[in-house]
Structure 1
Amino acid sequence: MSFEKVTHVIFDMDGLLIESESIYNKILSEIAASFGKVYDLQLKLRILGTPEPETARIAIEALNLPITRDEFLKVYRQRVDEELTNPVLMPGAQRLVEHLHKHKVPIAVATSSAEDSMKIKTQHHKKLFSLFHHIVCGSTDPEVKHGKPAPDIFLVCASRFPDKPDPSSCLVLEDAPNGVRGARAAGMQAVLVPNEDVLEELRKPATLVLKSLLDFKPELFGLPPFNDCN
């Protein structure tokens, strides 16, 4: 299997760098249950990776909830702020980020989270997140007009590297099929590290599918390989 060489790497955050998806599922399930509704797998896969306003829109429409988007988001964001103050890092995340930074590979984050939410979730991992050149927060960044699966966030993210690389020179690492679709639409290769719930059909657009970031081999994409010291 051969892949195109890349020079820049863009990371998703939730579910890829930090373990937050289980908390999101819990919050959304509880919001649905408060109206006598069920947050099922089909809805979860539709929402996975979307920016917060889109999460609210999809949930309200799919579950026919008798609340406005602003009312939904108020409850949702309050719960996120309460329950996601110190998420653990996903296996292999720190190792890979530190490795790429050490070898001067330009790295950035493209997350659908709002900026305030991102800061709360990363407050205990400031040293690691300081290694990224920049972080684009899709729910609040004015340049990101459309959320994942649109390509906007990835194109904006690439444009903020000092050398403004061509999208084809960027590799995206994602846990969500919506993110992979957005990356591919932006003209980038995309590695998917999905939750086991993600259906086989939704994995197909990915350039490569891995079980964990621990399985990622940078050299497949022309990046410096790990060695015994990493």
Structure 2
Amino acid sequence: MTAFREVTHVIFDMDGLLLNTEHLYTRATQEICDPYGKKYTWGLKQTLMGMTGPDVAKKITKELDLPISPEEYMKLATEKYEKLFPQSEMMPGAEKLVRHLKKEGVHIAVATSSSIESYNLKTNHHKEFFGLFEHIVNGSSDPEVKAGKPDPSIFLVCASRFADKPAPEQCLVLEDSPNGVEAALAAGMQVVMVPDPHIDESLTHRATLTLSSLEELRPELFGLPPFPS
């Protein structure tokens, strides 16, 4: 068995990891592309996952040659998100894992590329759950986050906001996107990847550990308290 470093802090991504929102992003994006006869492919999507909203808007309008500016794209996307995001549901295993770590006194936080406005829409029906985290870093809104994933900034900022200021090697990141995995590794952190089943397998090999669901995670592998037997 691969030996993993023991950690004391866990940082969670949100979209596609804690909340099942990726299909909502896909639906909104395709609805924006439809009037222009453009197809939002999985190949393009997997390169965008984990990026900030402005970066996504720039890349989509360029790659699909949409006759609108990134700013216009963002405006259309925001209108669609306001209708879709309140439908966000929890991913399998997310609630059990987070409540277990909280109960055992493990330091936990969220580092999401979502803006604060987008975050509020997605978490409106899950406020008690997200209240379990010590803090939330919203990459698209936070002035300290200098660049989106795959830049490590968001995870370094998140770690720095724990009261005891852990070193990067004391933090474990849980992610679903290749950009998020690269960001965590660049930050000097171990990363467990729970990829969407559609993601090209070649994009999962860089993770410290890859699982098909959070339900499979054994916290004791990283020196964290195991689930009760």
Q: Which TM class, normalised by the smaller chain length?
A: over 0.9
Alignment map for 1:6-155 (pairs within 5 Å): 6-155=7-156
Runs of 4 or more consecutive aligned structure 1 residues displaced over 4 Å after TM superposition: none
Structure 1 residue 86, shift from structure 2 partner:
3.0
With 91-100 and 40-49 compared, the bigger mean Cα shift is at 40-49
Q: Does 1:186 align with 2:187?
A: yes
Q: Determine if contact 2:47/2:178 at 8 Å carries over to the other structure.
A: no
Return the letter of the residue paired with 2:97: L
Instruction: Quote the Cα distance in structure 1 between the aligned partners of 2:72 and 2:103.
Output: 44
Q: Determine if contact 2:150/2:180 at 8 Å carries over to the other structure.
A: yes
Deviations 1:173-222 (A, max 9, x none): 00111100000000000000001111111101100000000000000000
Q: Determine if contact 1:154/1:183 at 8 Å carries over to the other structure.
A: yes
Instruction: Quote the Cα distance in structure 1 between the aligned partners of 2:157 and 2:198.
Output: 29
Instruction: Quote the Cα distance in structure 2 between the aligned partners of 1:159 and 1:211.
Output: 29
Q: Determine if contact 2:110/2:135 at 8 Å carries over to the other structure.
A: yes
User: How many percent of aligned residue pairs carry the same amino acid?
Assistant: 53
With 173-182 and 29-38 compared, the bigger mean Cα shift is at 29-38
TM-score for the superposition, normalised by structure 1: 0.98
Q: Determine if contact 2:21/2:88 at 8 Å carries over to the other structure.
A: yes
Structure 2 unaligned regions, length at least 5: none
Return the letter of the residue paired with 2:195: P
The residue that corresponds to 1:221 in the other structure is: 222
Deviations 1:141-195 (A, max 9, x none): 1111100011000000000000110001000000111100000000000000001
TM-score for the superposition, normalised by structure 2: 0.98
Q: Does 1:161 align with 2:189?
A: no
Q: Determine if contact 1:170/1:189 at 8 Å carries over to the other structure.
A: yes
Return the letter of the residue paired with 1:210: L
The residue that corresponds to 1:177 in the other structure is: 178
Count matched residues. 228
Q: Determine if contact 1:180/1:192 at 8 Å carries over to the other structure.
A: yes
The residue that corresponds to 2:210 in the other structure is: 209
> Once superposed, what is the RMSD of the aligned Cα atoms?
0.7
Return the letter of the residue paired with 2:66: L
* Other structure's SS at 1:190 match: strand
Q: Determine if contact 1:86/1:122 at 8 Å carries over to the other structure.
A: no
The residue that corresponds to 1:4 in the other structure is: 5
Q: Determine if contact 2:174/2:192 at 8 Å carries over to the other structure.
A: yes
Instruction: Quote the Cα distance in structure 2 between the aligned partners of 1:139 and 1:121.
Output: 15
Q: Determine if contact 1:48/1:176 at 8 Å carries over to the other structure.
A: yes
Structure 1 unaligned regions, length at least 5: none
Deviations 1:91-117 (A, max 9, x none): 000000000000110000000000011
Deviations 1:20-52 (A, max 9, x none): 001111111121222111111211111111110
Instruction: Quote the Cα distance in structure 2 between the aligned partners of 1:89 and 1:34.
Output: 32
